């Protein structure tokens, strides 16, 4: 039995064909499943290794300040010029009462890290977490580790 058009074929069709809708939704679901992990990777740095580390908290109550090998600075995934760092830290960390974690590539000059830490201290941030990789972690493993600093 097929679709009924009512009396003499002149009536309205009362059924909705949802097959094309379901097809489109499945394709969109697959696209989002493939692209979502790529959006959460962040800035890639080669972290120093240490023995005692804890996992970085998985919430939105913290921000990560990253210093790459070339000296460029990122607040989460957004590039920040060094001249604007104090303003960004004041607005995003101090004003919103968030915890700040510092990730620095192991090849970054010590002087650059000290300069960045000086800017952090001058804004009034007293507690700073330092992010490092576990010494016994496998390559390509979980790099979201921290060593809290006082």
- Per DSSP, the residues of 42-97 read -------EES--EEPP-SSSEEEEEE-TTS-EEETTEEE-GGGHHHHHIIIIITTT
pLDDT (0 to 100) of residue 28: 93
Domain 49-149: CATH class, spelled out: alpha beta
Q: Give residue limits of the domains in the chain.
A: 7-39, 49-149
pTM of the model: 0.58
- Residue pLDDT, tens place only, 2-61: 555 555 556 677 788 888 899 999 999 999 888 877 665 566 666 666 666 666 666 677
Please compute the mean of the pLDDT values over residues 59-69 and round it to a whole number: 83
Looking at residue 105, what is its pLDDT? 87
Mean pLDDT of 123-144: 69
């Amino acid at each position: 039995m097929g679709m009924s058009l009512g009396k003499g074929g002149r009536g309205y069709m009362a059924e909705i064909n949802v097959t094309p809708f379901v097809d489109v939704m499945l394709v969109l679901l697959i696209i989002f499943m493939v692209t979502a992990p790529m959006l959460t990777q962040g800035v890639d740095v080669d972290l120093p290794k240490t023995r005692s580390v804890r996992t970085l908290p998985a919430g939105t109550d913290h921000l990560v300040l990253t210093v790459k090998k070339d000296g460029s600075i990122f607040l989460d995934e957004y590039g920040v010029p060094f001249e604007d760092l104090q303003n960004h830290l004041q607005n995003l960390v101090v004003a919103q009462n968030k915890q700040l974690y510092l990730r620095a590539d192991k090849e970054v000059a010590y002087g650059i890290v000290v300069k960045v830490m000086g800017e952090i201290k001058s804004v009034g941030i007293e507690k700073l977490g330092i992010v490092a990789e576990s010494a016994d972690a496998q390559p390509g493993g979980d790099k979201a580790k921290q060593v809290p600093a006082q």
